[in-house]
Structure 1
Amino acid sequence: MITRRSLLVGTGCLALASDAPRPRRFVLPTPSGGDDTTALNTTLRIGAGGLIHAPEGAQYRVSAPLVVYSDTTLVMADSTVTLVPGSGCNLLTNMAVAGGGRDRNIRVTGGTWIRADLAGGIGPALHTLCFRRVDNLLLEGLAVKTFGDKYAISLGDVTDATVNRISFAVQSDGVHIQGPAVRTRVTTLRGSTGDDTVAITPRDWQAYDDVSGPVIDTHIEDIDVTSAAALVKVLGGSPETAALRTTVRGVAGSARNNVLWVGDDTAEWRTTGGQIDELTVERVTAATVPGRHVLYLNGSNVGRVQIRELTFADPGADGALVRIASRTAAAVAELSVERVDVAQLGAGPVVGVDQTARVERLRVDRLTVTAAAAGASLVRIAGTVNDLAVRAVTAAVPGDSYLLELPQWAKDAAVRQASVSDTGVAGRGGGLVAATAATHTLPQLALTNIRTAGKPWLVNLNTHTDLRLSDVTIEDTTGGVLKVHSSGAAVVRGDTLRTAPGSPGVAVSSGGSVTSYARDLAVDVSRLVRAEGSTATNTNGRLSCGTGPVVCSRLTWQNLRTGATY
């Protein structure tokens, strides 16, 4: 009878679980007080495939890379390893870097890793912790400090790599991921970095381009760092590489550049033109500086990007929270911005599309702006958006501000199809939508379940626009539904339209025109185009048709209640 052991049955063999070999255990030597490089590397080589741990509180000094092997766990706990000045090399790396081939199953936990080396120069040998060609890598609970040179943690050609609970006090990037890389997790980073805290570069600049390829299925979460550059950078690399299926979640702290930079680093062709697709950004609260952005997207080959749960409060900010700044004819396929809470908006906007940028589909959903600087628009399109949908916005925006603005200075701004729904906007001045240059393009605009208060005009146009209204209420207004400039021509359709009593409803400049097929549009119908079947509610009692609902038949307005005509 077999007891106290688990019997494992295989094909033609038996094995006892308790008989499985335990990993060999090794202890690193006691610090010598001098250069410990040779002694440490000897133990790492002898202990390859086993569990190696450092003596408690050990303080090591090295002048050449420490090399860890496959199937090895290195436990440093509260020990410290310092790369001495003048070394000009990596502090810790894996055998595949030094000897070729490929490594697997490497774990490094704990320890403080210090690059005291101030040596200048370029190349991958200057990264502090550098890992290449590794399958199943874990770096956990490390503190990294540097006084010069390049990336603190550099990963390249890795699969199933995890970097967790890292504290930085470094002069360059924190975690830098080069392709090829699959299923990389970077979580719980703290401290400060002198460059990007986390960077994805499928291909890097020439001097650091030792490996390259796609970076796929990357998860970045719980970043709370002070960065001298971006907190997270996602580049596509060059045209033959890509960053695909990336999730960035929980980004706090502060950045001296954009909080998140997505797209191209145009300083080098190797970092320009690569593909970015299926990027999800969630729960961002980090702050930036004037002139920068929470998310800056300048990629020339960008597919789907989703941003949600962004919280922001900085009255001094003068840049768009989300800025699309692509500089080529290529379009962003789909951008979704959801659940954004802005306690105080500066000059804005929340979402801005530059003149050089083009977006196929832009979605803005569940946006709350509690307070804003006068004149701050929420969505500003200076470039081209083919399909825009804005939903569930609640905003208080004073001054000459709009929910959706095609700015006067952006002569070629175009939104080919736009809808706004389930939205309430309040504040003195401005309106809901503005496209006031004769060269703007806004052919279709649908407004559904809209409430405005204090806004002179719902829509301010100098474009040829088919305006469709449903369940629209305009309160406390001196204007009403529509202001049309000299090059504008608007056709209004819909129902359930309520405006403040006594408001003029529309204002039409010489050369402009309004045609109404909305019976609830309360307006002096002498200002409207007479088109067969058009309809409105006349407010000018001096006209012979009298006040009330009217319809146009054979170029004559007829009152639907009395039959009187004009």
Structure 2
Amino acid sequence: MITRRTLLATAGGLVLAGGAVLAGDSPSREGAVLLPPPSGGDDTAALNAALLAGAGGTVRGPHDARYQVSAPLVVHSGTTLIMSGCTVTLVADSACNLLTNAAVTAGGRDRDITVIGGTWVRAEGVGGAGVHLHTLRWRRVDRLALKGLAVETASDKYAISLGDVTDTTVTRIRFAVHSDGVHIQGPAARTRISGLRGATGDDTVAITPQDWQAYDDVRGTVTDTLIEDVSVASLAALVKVLGGSPGTAALRTTVRNVTGLAGNNVIWVGDDTAEWRTVGGRVDDLVLEQVSAGTLPDRGGVVHINGTSVGRVHIRGMRVDSRGPNQPLVQIAPLRPATVEALTVEDVEVAQLNAAPLLYADANARIRHLLVDRVTVGATSTSTAMTRIAGSVEDLTLRAVTMTASGDSYVLDLPGWAAAAAVRRAALSGVRIVGDGGGLVSATAATHTLPHLDVADVRTVGAPWLVDLNTATELQLSKVDLEKATGGVAKVRRSGAAVIRGDGLRSTPGSRGVAIAPGGSVVSYVLDLAVDVSELVRADGSRATNTNAHLSCGTGPVRCAGLTWQHLQTGATY
């Protein structure tokens, strides 16, 4: 069993060395206030006196110094604190934060605070309540920078807690912590977080514009956040983006270059049901790029969207090199029926899909615009799907998809058990499927909705049917090539009614063309559709290529005039 303790104990091989200062971080030593050497006892008063004396300038800790404190160290406006090579430990029973800014207690706002280096330790049994459980707590600061720190906590809450901040930089941080790594509460604007390493016992980075009651000291909208270069082992999510309560939001967030290991979902977007303060807030303009982190077995997928107020989400550059998890890689599962305005998933490579699809929208999900573009699936398990819709999508575009499929696997699947599954308009183009079963689209329940399906520039090899339908569907074809197809274009079930239009269809010679169950129907306006026309509904102007030599019109291209099939070359009728 993986616990916080074992995760933290094994994190050393994953992280950067703590306290390193890179060129350009450290200002000149001239005029700096030097912290006193450790006393061997409680250094709180001496360190705070030095920080006050150096307020507005540079304060340095002596290399290899190891301090112990029992109350918060306070950094003032305009101060650069350089602690490279130093260790500061908050001792047991202190019941407070380790490092804060002056405005936390004095009120007002601080500005231009920089902390460079140091190992900041919250010992076992520090304790406290509410916001005092956080280790580094920053409130009401403009232009805050934390660079090259190592943070270690044995218990309690957030390692770095940010709230009511603007223009904040948190970079090159090594964690070995019990709870969250970096936690942002609103209001916050223009936060940059990068270069995170180590291990966290809860979410590595969390945006909660409004937090749970115990930690709800500040709240507001969080805007323009960049989170990048995260390679951490987490027992929860690597990045969590919540909207908070209905009065707050997380807007214009970019997350990129995320590797490492997540205890459940790599990226969590939306709501946390623990309290009303973290449910119903807006998440909009979210970009997730270059995500290749793994998850613990059977614990989660890559992106989990459960929010009830989610706008536009753009996912690109996702890589799953090993066998995929048993959870959908991208899952849209709102806590109650809710609409996602626009979801784009592009530039995705998956070595193998298991029983779970690449993208899954559950019965509560409503998506106005869904685009899936440039996807490669190396292999699938039997009876899986690349995209599975149990809820509804207004406008779906799938393009540039390459999939090697096994068994009854489909690019787009409306599962039979999801009675209300609906895709109002679907367009699939540039798709290549190679496999021994399945096909392009499956919608097999009589209650499914799929009124418009456009298929262009599609090639299947070994798939029995292009589509398997139990819906009333207008199917538009253009440049469709079906190789080694034992069936053909459409398998239509008892409640299905397909109208097939278009041109550029090339089927496997001798294949059936369509299979129609009793009660189902097909009308063809595709001259290239090779089929027994006695199985088709006669509609004036409909066309096909008849394959039944027993019909009086003969085999070959035919057109329906009124209720009569007529051969286009011989004039023979049926």
TM-score > 0.5, shorter chain as reference? yes
Q: Equivalent residue of 2:383, what SS?
A: coil
Of the candidates 527, 531, 535, which is equivalent to residue 523 of structure 1?
A: 531
Q: Identify the residue that residue 172 of structure 1 maps to in structure 2.
A: 179
* Structure 2 residue 473 is the aligned partner of structure 1 residue 473: no
Range moving further from structure 2, 291-300 or 502-511? 291-300
Q: Identify the residue that residue 296 of structure 1 maps to in structure 2.
A: 304
Q: Cα gap change, 1:36/1:242 in structure 2, threshold over 3 Å: closer, same or farther?
A: same
The AA in structure 1 aligned to 2:167 is: D
Counterparts of 1:414-493 in structure 2 under 5 Å? 414-493=422-501
Q: Cα gap change, 1:35/1:120 in structure 2, threshold over 3 Å: closer, same or farther?
A: closer
The AA in structure 1 aligned to 2:33 is: F
Q: Identify the residue that residue 10 of structure 2 maps to in structure 1.
A: none
For 1:80 and 1:119, the matched residues in 2 are separated by 17
The AA in structure 2 aligned to 1:183 is: R
The AA in structure 1 aligned to 2:233 is: T
For 2:324 and 2:314, the matched residues in 1 are separated by 26
* Structure 2 residue 175 is the aligned partner of structure 1 residue 153: no
Q: Identify the residue that residue 245 of structure 2 maps to in structure 1.
A: 238
Of the candidates 208, 225, 232, which is equivalent to residue 225 of structure 1?
A: 232
**Structure 1 unaligned spans of 5+:** 1-20
For 2:396 and 2:203, the matched residues in 1 are separated by 32
Query: Is this contact kept in 1: 2:263–2:299, CA < 8 A?
Result: no
Deviations for 1:157-207, whole angstroms, at most 9, x for unmatched residues? 000000000000000000000000000000000000000000000000000
Q: Identify the residue that residue 269 of structure 1 maps to in structure 2.
A: 276
Deviations for 1:490-531, whole angstroms, at most 9, x for unmatched residues? 000000000101000000000000000111111010110000
The AA in structure 2 aligned to 1:313 is: D
Query: Is this contact kept in 2: 1:24–1:49, CA < 8 A?
Result: no
For 1:291 and 1:497, the matched residues in 2 are separated by 44
Number of corresponding residues? 546
Q: Identify the residue that residue 252 of structure 1 maps to in structure 2.
A: 259
For 2:480 and 2:385, the matched residues in 1 are separated by 20
Q: Cα gap change, 1:307/1:536 in structure 2, threshold over 3 Å: closer, same or farther?
A: same
Deviations for 1:438-487, whole angstroms, at most 9, x for unmatched residues? 00000000000000011110000000000000000001111000000000
Deviations for 1:81-133, whole angstroms, at most 9, x for unmatched residues? 00111111100000000211110000000000000042445311110000000
* Structure 2 residue 351 is the aligned partner of structure 1 residue 343: yes
Q: Equivalent residue of 1:38, what SS?
A: helix
Deviations for 1:364-413, whole angstroms, at most 9, x for unmatched residues? 00000011212221000000111100000000010111000000010110
Q: Identify the residue that residue 339 of structure 2 maps to in structure 1.
A: 331
Q: Identify the residue that residue 550 of structure 1 maps to in structure 2.
A: 558
The AA in structure 1 aligned to 2:440 is: L
For 1:504 and 1:125, the matched residues in 2 are separated by 72
The AA in structure 1 aligned to 2:406 is: P
Query: Is this contact kept in 2: 1:87–1:117, CA < 8 A?
Result: no
The Cα of 1:25 is off from its aligned counterpart by: 1.4
For 2:346 and 2:514, the matched residues in 1 are separated by 33
Q: Identify the residue that residue 362 of structure 2 maps to in structure 1.
A: 354
Of the candidates 88, 110, 114, which is equivalent to residue 117 of structure 2?
A: 110
Q: Identify the residue that residue 9 of structure 1 maps to in structure 2.
A: none
For 1:93 and 1:524, the matched residues in 2 are separated by 79
Query: Is this contact kept in 1: 2:93–2:127, CA < 8 A?
Result: no
Query: Is this contact kept in 2: 1:315–1:372, CA < 8 A?
Result: no
Q: Identify the residue that residue 539 of structure 1 maps to in structure 2.
A: 547
Q: Equivalent residue of 1:190, what SS?
A: strand
Q: Identify the residue that residue 396 of structure 1 maps to in structure 2.
A: 404
Deviations for 1:17-51, whole angstroms, at most 9, x for unmatched residues? xxxx9984100000001110010000001110110
Q: Equivalent residue of 2:83, what SS?
A: strand
Q: Identify the residue that residue 56 of structure 2 maps to in structure 1.
A: 49
The Cα of 1:281 is off from its aligned counterpart by: 0.3
The Cα of 1:532 is off from its aligned counterpart by: 0.4
Query: Is this contact kept in 1: 2:385–2:412, CA < 8 A?
Result: yes
For 1:122 and 1:560, the matched residues in 2 are separated by 85
* Structure 2 residue 69 is the aligned partner of structure 1 residue 69: no
Q: Equivalent residue of 1:77, what SS?
A: coil
The Cα of 1:260 is off from its aligned counterpart by: 0.2
Give the alignment's Cα RMSD to 1 decimal.
Answer: 1.1
Query: Is this contact kept in 1: 2:338–2:364, CA < 8 A?
Result: no
For 1:327 and 1:92, the matched residues in 2 are separated by 37
Range moving further from structure 2, 171-180 or 112-121? 112-121
Q: Identify the residue that residue 319 of structure 2 maps to in structure 1.
A: 311
Q: Equivalent residue of 1:378, what SS?
A: strand
Q: Identify the residue that residue 46 of structure 2 maps to in structure 1.
A: 39
For 2:326 and 2:203, the matched residues in 1 are separated by 22
Q: Cα gap change, 1:194/1:22 in structure 2, threshold over 3 Å: closer, same or farther?
A: closer
The AA in structure 1 aligned to 2:391 is: G
Query: Is this contact kept in 1: 2:324–2:351, CA < 8 A?
Result: no
Query: Is this contact kept in 1: 2:94–2:128, CA < 8 A?
Result: no
For 2:324 and 2:402, the matched residues in 1 are separated by 21
Q: Identify the residue that residue 392 of structure 2 maps to in structure 1.
A: 384
The Cα of 1:316 is off from its aligned counterpart by: 5.7
* Structure 2 residue 93 is the aligned partner of structure 1 residue 86: yes
Q: Identify the residue that residue 14 of structure 1 maps to in structure 2.
A: none
Query: Is this contact kept in 2: 1:361–1:387, CA < 8 A?
Result: yes
The AA in structure 2 aligned to 1:155 is: L
Query: Is this contact kept in 1: 2:223–2:251, CA < 8 A?
Result: yes
Q: Equivalent residue of 2:310, what SS?
A: coil
Query: Is this contact kept in 2: 1:531–1:552, CA < 8 A?
Result: yes
Q: Cα gap change, 1:384/1:78 in structure 2, threshold over 3 Å: closer, same or farther?
A: same
Q: Cα gap change, 1:538/1:309 in structure 2, threshold over 3 Å: closer, same or farther?
A: same
Q: Equivalent residue of 2:288, what SS?
A: strand
For 2:525 and 2:428, the matched residues in 1 are separated by 20
Q: Equivalent residue of 1:43, what SS?
A: helix
Of the candidates 215, 218, 222, which is equivalent to residue 211 of structure 1?
A: 218
For 1:413 and 1:59, the matched residues in 2 are separated by 62
Q: Identify the residue that residue 11 of structure 1 maps to in structure 2.
A: none
Q: Identify the residue that residue 19 of structure 2 maps to in structure 1.
A: none
For 2:292 and 2:311, the matched residues in 1 are separated by 24
Q: Equivalent residue of 1:45, what SS?
A: helix
Deviations for 1:330-375, whole angstroms, at most 9, x for unmatched residues? 3000000000000122222011000111101100000000112122
The AA in structure 1 aligned to 2:536 is: L
Query: Is this contact kept in 2: 1:110–1:143, CA < 8 A?
Result: yes
Identity of aligned residues (%): 63
Q: Equivalent residue of 1:88, what SS?
A: coil
Deviations for 1:258-287, whole angstroms, at most 9, x for unmatched residues? 000000001110000001110000000000
